[in-house]
Amino acid sequence: MMQGIIDLHHDIFFFLILIFVFVSRILVRALWHFHYSKKKIPQRIVHGTTIEILWTIFPIIIPMFIAIPSFALLYSMNEVVVDPAMTIKAIGHQWYRTYEYSDYNSSGEQSLTFDSYTILEDDLELGQSRLLEVDNRVVLLAKTHLRIIVTPADVHHSWAVPSSGVKCDVIPGRLNQISILVQREGVYYGQCSEICETNHAFTPIVVEAVPRKDYGSRVSN
Protein backbone atom coordinates (compact mmCIF):
# COMPACT_ATOMS: atom_id res chain seq x y z
CA MET A 1 0.00 0.00 0.00
CA MET A 2 2.74 2.44 0.97
CA GLN A 3 4.70 1.53 -2.15
CA GLY A 4 1.73 2.61 -4.27
CA ILE A 5 1.60 5.96 -2.45
CA ILE A 6 5.33 6.50 -3.03
CA ASP A 7 5.03 5.61 -6.73
CA LEU A 8 2.10 8.01 -7.14
CA HIS A 9 4.11 10.77 -5.45
CA HIS A 10 7.00 10.23 -7.87
CA ASP A 11 4.66 10.26 -10.88
CA ILE A 12 2.98 13.51 -9.80
CA PHE A 13 6.35 15.08 -9.04
CA PHE A 14 7.40 14.38 -12.64
CA PHE A 15 4.51 16.52 -13.89
CA LEU A 16 5.36 19.23 -11.37
CA ILE A 17 8.93 19.37 -12.65
CA LEU A 18 7.73 19.70 -16.25
CA ILE A 19 5.38 22.55 -15.31
CA PHE A 20 8.11 24.26 -13.27
CA VAL A 21 10.64 24.06 -16.13
CA PHE A 22 8.12 25.33 -18.70
CA VAL A 23 6.93 28.28 -16.62
CA SER A 24 10.49 29.16 -15.51
CA ARG A 25 11.67 29.20 -19.12
CA ILE A 26 8.89 31.59 -20.11
CA LEU A 27 9.66 33.92 -17.19
CA VAL A 28 13.42 33.92 -17.77
CA ARG A 29 12.95 34.46 -21.50
CA ALA A 30 10.61 37.41 -20.88
CA LEU A 31 12.99 38.97 -18.34
CA TRP A 32 15.96 38.53 -20.65
CA HIS A 33 14.45 39.83 -23.88
CA PHE A 34 12.43 42.66 -22.35
CA HIS A 35 14.91 44.02 -19.85
CA TYR A 36 14.54 47.77 -19.44
CA SER A 37 18.11 48.36 -20.63
CA LYS A 38 17.30 46.93 -24.07
CA LYS A 39 14.41 49.38 -24.51
CA LYS A 40 12.33 46.86 -26.44
CA ILE A 41 8.63 47.48 -26.94
CA PRO A 42 6.55 44.28 -26.79
CA GLN A 43 4.00 43.67 -29.51
CA ARG A 44 0.45 44.47 -28.52
CA ILE A 45 -1.71 41.35 -28.93
CA VAL A 46 -5.41 41.56 -28.06
CA HIS A 47 -6.37 37.98 -28.95
CA GLY A 48 -4.35 34.85 -29.64
CA THR A 49 -6.67 31.99 -30.50
CA THR A 50 -3.98 29.31 -30.62
CA ILE A 51 -2.34 30.15 -27.31
CA GLU A 52 -5.72 30.52 -25.59
CA ILE A 53 -6.75 27.04 -26.77
CA LEU A 54 -3.44 25.56 -25.58
CA TRP A 55 -3.49 27.10 -22.11
CA THR A 56 -7.06 25.90 -21.68
CA ILE A 57 -6.53 22.31 -22.89
CA PHE A 58 -3.24 21.49 -21.18
CA PRO A 59 -4.38 22.39 -17.63
CA ILE A 60 -7.31 20.00 -18.21
CA ILE A 61 -5.20 17.14 -19.55
CA ILE A 62 -2.59 17.25 -16.76
CA PRO A 63 -5.08 16.70 -13.87
CA MET A 64 -6.59 13.82 -15.85
CA PHE A 65 -3.21 12.08 -16.00
CA ILE A 66 -2.90 12.63 -12.24
CA ALA A 67 -6.49 11.61 -11.40
CA ILE A 68 -6.51 8.21 -13.12
CA PRO A 69 -3.70 6.61 -11.02
CA SER A 70 -4.96 8.49 -7.93
CA PHE A 71 -8.42 6.91 -8.17
CA ALA A 72 -6.92 3.49 -8.88
CA LEU A 73 -4.75 3.74 -5.75
CA LEU A 74 -7.66 5.03 -3.66
CA TYR A 75 -9.90 2.10 -4.60
CA SER A 76 -7.11 -0.43 -4.09
CA MET A 77 -6.45 0.94 -0.60
CA ASN A 78 -10.10 0.40 0.30
CA GLU A 79 -10.12 -3.21 -0.88
CA VAL A 80 -10.52 -5.82 1.84
CA VAL A 81 -8.69 -9.14 1.72
CA VAL A 82 -11.33 -11.89 1.62
CA ASP A 83 -9.29 -14.55 3.38
CA PRO A 84 -6.54 -12.94 5.52
CA ALA A 85 -3.96 -15.10 7.25
CA MET A 86 -4.57 -13.36 10.57
CA THR A 87 -7.05 -10.97 12.16
CA ILE A 88 -6.26 -8.68 15.09
CA LYS A 89 -8.78 -6.53 16.92
CA ALA A 90 -7.60 -3.13 18.18
CA ILE A 91 -9.76 -1.36 20.77
CA GLY A 92 -9.10 2.30 21.47
CA HIS A 93 -9.33 3.66 25.01
CA GLN A 94 -8.53 6.92 26.72
CA TRP A 95 -5.56 6.72 26.50
CA TYR A 96 -4.22 3.28 25.64
CA ARG A 97 -5.10 0.41 23.33
CA THR A 98 -6.23 -3.18 23.80
CA TYR A 99 -5.34 -5.85 21.25
CA GLU A 100 -6.98 -9.24 20.78
CA TYR A 101 -5.53 -12.24 18.94
CA SER A 102 -8.30 -14.81 18.54
CA ASP A 103 -7.63 -16.64 15.27
CA TYR A 104 -5.81 -19.57 16.80
CA ASN A 105 -8.10 -20.35 19.70
CA SER A 106 -10.33 -23.41 19.85
CA SER A 107 -13.86 -23.09 21.16
CA GLY A 108 -14.03 -22.20 24.83
CA GLU A 109 -10.52 -20.77 25.01
CA GLN A 110 -10.01 -17.17 25.95
CA SER A 111 -8.42 -15.03 23.23
CA LEU A 112 -4.96 -13.57 23.72
CA THR A 113 -5.61 -10.05 24.96
CA PHE A 114 -3.20 -7.41 26.19
CA ASP A 115 -3.08 -3.66 26.77
CA SER A 116 -0.55 -1.33 25.18
CA TYR A 117 0.45 1.75 27.19
CA THR A 118 2.88 4.53 26.41
CA ILE A 119 6.22 4.24 28.15
CA LEU A 120 6.68 7.37 30.21
CA GLU A 121 9.68 9.57 29.59
CA ASP A 122 11.31 8.64 32.89
CA ASP A 123 11.12 4.93 32.06
CA LEU A 124 12.58 5.09 28.55
CA GLU A 125 15.62 2.98 27.77
CA LEU A 126 18.51 3.99 25.56
CA GLY A 127 17.43 4.13 21.93
CA GLN A 128 13.68 4.33 22.61
CA SER A 129 11.72 7.25 21.17
CA ARG A 130 9.87 9.68 23.41
CA LEU A 131 6.06 9.46 23.11
CA LEU A 132 6.39 6.71 20.48
CA GLU A 133 7.34 3.63 22.50
CA VAL A 134 4.88 1.28 24.22
CA ASP A 135 5.21 -1.50 26.77
CA ASN A 136 3.52 -4.14 24.53
CA ARG A 137 4.00 -3.99 20.78
CA VAL A 138 1.64 -5.41 18.16
CA VAL A 139 3.44 -8.37 16.60
CA LEU A 140 2.52 -9.10 12.98
CA LEU A 141 3.68 -11.56 10.36
CA ALA A 142 5.80 -9.98 7.65
CA LYS A 143 4.92 -10.60 3.99
CA THR A 144 1.45 -11.87 4.93
CA HIS A 145 -2.02 -10.47 4.27
CA LEU A 146 -3.51 -9.32 7.58
CA ARG A 147 -6.73 -7.74 8.76
CA ILE A 148 -6.99 -5.21 11.58
CA ILE A 149 -10.45 -4.66 13.08
CA VAL A 150 -10.71 -1.38 14.98
CA THR A 151 -13.34 -0.09 17.39
CA PRO A 152 -13.36 2.32 20.37
CA ALA A 153 -14.46 1.78 23.94
CA ASP A 154 -15.28 5.45 24.52
CA VAL A 155 -14.65 8.34 22.07
CA HIS A 156 -13.35 8.76 18.54
CA HIS A 157 -9.84 7.42 17.95
CA SER A 158 -7.71 6.54 14.95
CA TRP A 159 -5.37 3.68 14.09
CA ALA A 160 -2.64 5.11 11.88
CA VAL A 161 0.79 3.82 10.87
CA PRO A 162 2.07 6.26 8.20
CA SER A 163 5.07 4.19 7.10
CA SER A 164 2.66 1.40 6.10
CA GLY A 165 0.21 3.74 4.41
CA VAL A 166 -2.50 2.87 6.94
CA LYS A 167 -4.99 5.22 8.61
CA CYS A 168 -8.46 4.25 9.79
CA ASP A 169 -10.83 6.28 11.95
CA VAL A 170 -12.23 4.48 14.98
CA ILE A 171 -15.86 5.48 15.47
CA PRO A 172 -18.00 4.61 18.52
CA GLY A 173 -20.58 1.93 17.79
CA ARG A 174 -18.87 0.74 14.60
CA LEU A 175 -16.33 -1.87 13.53
CA ASN A 176 -13.93 -0.72 10.83
CA GLN A 177 -11.35 -2.91 9.18
CA ILE A 178 -8.02 -2.44 7.45
CA SER A 179 -6.15 -4.79 5.16
CA ILE A 180 -2.40 -4.59 5.59
CA LEU A 181 0.61 -6.28 4.03
CA VAL A 182 3.95 -5.48 5.67
CA GLN A 183 6.63 -6.09 3.08
CA ARG A 184 9.70 -5.79 5.30
CA GLU A 185 10.52 -6.93 8.79
CA GLY A 186 11.07 -4.21 11.35
CA VAL A 187 9.41 -1.83 13.80
CA TYR A 188 6.86 0.72 12.60
CA TYR A 189 5.50 3.63 14.63
CA GLY A 190 2.16 5.40 14.49
CA GLN A 191 -0.11 7.58 16.60
CA CYS A 192 -3.76 8.41 17.08
CA SER A 193 -4.82 10.89 14.39
CA GLU A 194 -8.06 11.98 16.05
CA ILE A 195 -8.18 14.47 18.92
CA CYS A 196 -9.33 12.13 21.71
CA GLU A 197 -9.12 14.78 24.45
CA THR A 198 -6.33 15.67 26.86
CA ASN A 199 -3.87 12.78 26.49
CA HIS A 200 -4.33 12.40 22.74
CA ALA A 201 -0.56 12.72 22.20
CA PHE A 202 0.12 9.80 24.56
CA THR A 203 -1.47 6.96 22.56
CA PRO A 204 1.21 5.72 20.15
CA ILE A 205 1.05 2.55 18.06
CA VAL A 206 4.06 0.29 17.63
CA VAL A 207 3.91 -2.54 15.09
CA GLU A 208 6.67 -5.12 14.96
CA ALA A 209 6.77 -7.26 11.82
CA VAL A 210 8.61 -10.55 12.29
CA PRO A 211 9.27 -13.58 10.06
CA ARG A 212 7.11 -16.67 10.38
CA LYS A 213 9.79 -18.67 12.21
CA ASP A 214 9.94 -16.08 15.04
CA TYR A 215 6.25 -15.25 15.20
CA GLY A 216 5.15 -17.93 17.67
CA SER A 217 7.80 -17.12 20.26
CA ARG A 218 7.25 -13.35 19.98
CA VAL A 219 3.48 -13.60 20.46
CA SER A 220 3.77 -16.03 23.37
CA ASN A 221 6.14 -13.63 25.11
Better pLDDT: 57 or 75:
57
- 46 falls in which pLDDT band (50, 70, 90)? low
Q: Does the pLDDT of residue 107 top 60, yes or no?
A: no
**pTM of the predicted structure, to 2 decimals:** 0.75
Cα–Cα distance measured from residue 174 to residue 178, given in angstroms and rounded to the nearest whole number: 13
Contacts of 117 (CB under 8 A, 6+ apart): 96, 134, 135, 136
Residue type (1 letter), 203: T
C-alpha 209, offset from chain centre: 17
* CB 190, CB 207: distance < 8 Å: yes
* CB 103, CB 87: distance < 8 Å: yes
pLDDT value for 91: 92
Compute the Cα dihedral for 106, 107, 110, 115 and give only its sign: positive
Inter-axis angle of helices 49-77 and 2-33, to 10 degrees?
160
Cα–Cα distance measured from residue 180 to residue 166, given in angstroms and rounded to the nearest whole number: 8
Q: How many CB atoms lie within 10 A of CB 119?
A: 18
User: Which phi and psi angles does 181 have, rounded to 5°?
Assistant: -135, 105
| DSSP one-letter code for 165 | T
- Taking all residues of the chain, what is their mean pLDDT, rounded to a whole number? 84
**Tens-digit pLDDT profile for residues 9-42:** 898 898 889 889 988 998 998 888 877 777 777 6
**Tens-digit pLDDT profile for residues 85-102:** 888 999 988 888 999 987
Mean local confidence (pLDDT), 69-93: 84
pLDDT value for 106: 56
pLDDT value for 48: 74
Q: Does the pLDDT of residue 216 top 80, yes or no?
A: no
Nearest to 102 by CA among 94, 91, 90, 110: 110
Cα–Cα distance measured from residue 93 to residue 104, given in angstroms and rounded to the nearest whole number: 25
Q: Is 89 helix (H, G, I), strand (E, B) or coil?
A: strand
**Tens-digit pLDDT profile for residues 145-165:** 888 999 998 888 889 998 888
Cα–Cα distance measured from residue 172 to residue 175, given in angstroms and rounded to the nearest whole number: 8
Q: Does the pLDDT of residue 132 top 70, yes or no?
A: yes
Contacts of 92 (CB under 8 A, 6+ apart): 150, 151, 152, 153, 154, 157, 158, 159, 170, 192, 196, 203
